[in-house]
């Protein structure tokens, strides 16, 4: 179990425990409950609901982002290759084989490495991409995508729209490679 799951579970346990206590135990001991303390009771209820929603927003989003980050790592390799290919041969030079093909994809070496990064980062768990043999349904179907290399790199780096950022999790050349792979594979 991850730390986020433990925190979410603990807050949920407090909310459920309070609800059960107030609905099953308190009425037997104090049939007039909440009586003249209705305002306090309502405040505590609203506070607990707000705490649960905030916890889900903060810690649930991280779990979701981590899952998407894994998917983005798979799709992120295509995005990474896209940025490197559009900016020159630095990425191709690093892989040792991307300068002869040129173009926006950053060369065959980047695309091949992007496929590996796409798989190892778990991108396919969220994204469908026939070229990678994946059929995830959480994120966009990359076979139907028409994203540019630069946009793919930016999406992988910064995340958004439910996708976690991978800038600190993947190396720059891996991001470029994933982006190149995704852009090269779309529409096939």
Domain residue ranges in the chain: 3-64, 69-185
Contact 180, 114 (CB under 8 A): yes
Segment 81-103 mean pLDDT = 35
Q: What phi, psi does 163 have (nearest 5°)? A: -95, 135
pLDDT attached to residue 85: 37
- The answer to whether the predicted template modeling score (pTM) of the entire model surpasses 0.75 is no
Q: State the Cα–Cα distance between residues 112 and 11, nearest whole angstrom.
A: 44
Q: What is the average pLDDT across 1-30?
A: 89
Question: Using CA atoms, how far apart are residues 12 and 8, in angstroms rounded to an integer?
Answer: 6
Average pLDDT, the chain: 76
CATH architecture of the domain formed by 69-185: Orthogonal Bundle (1.10)
Element (H, E) at 165: none
The whole-angstrom separation of Cα 132 and Cα 7 is 35
Burial class (CB in 10 A: 0-12, 13-18, 19+), 139: buried
* pLDDT score at 80: 37
């Amino acid at each position: 179990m991850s730390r986020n799951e433990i925190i979410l579970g603990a807050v949920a346990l407090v909310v459920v425990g309070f609800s059960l206590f107030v609905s099953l135990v308190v009425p037997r001991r104090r049939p007039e409950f909440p009586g003249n303390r209705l305002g306090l009771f309502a405040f505590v209820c609203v506070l607990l609901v707000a705490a649960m929603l905030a916890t889900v927003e903060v810690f649930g989003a991280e779990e979701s982002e981590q899952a998407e980050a894994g998917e983005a790592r798979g799709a992120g390799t295509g995005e990474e290759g896209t940025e490197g290919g559009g900016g020159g041969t630095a990425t191709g030079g690093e892989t040792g084989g991307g300068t002869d093909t040129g173009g926006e994809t950053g060369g065959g070496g980047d695309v091949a490495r992007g496929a590996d990064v796409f798989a190892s980062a778990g991108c396919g768990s969220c994204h469908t991409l026939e070229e990678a043999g994946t059929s995830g349904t959480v994120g966009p179907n990359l076979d139907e995508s028409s994203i540019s290399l630069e946009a793919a790199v930016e999406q992988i780096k910064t995340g958004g729209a439910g996708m976690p950022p991978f800038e600190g999790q993947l190396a720059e050349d891996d991001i470029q490679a994933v982006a190149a792979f995704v852009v090269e594979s779309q529409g096939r």
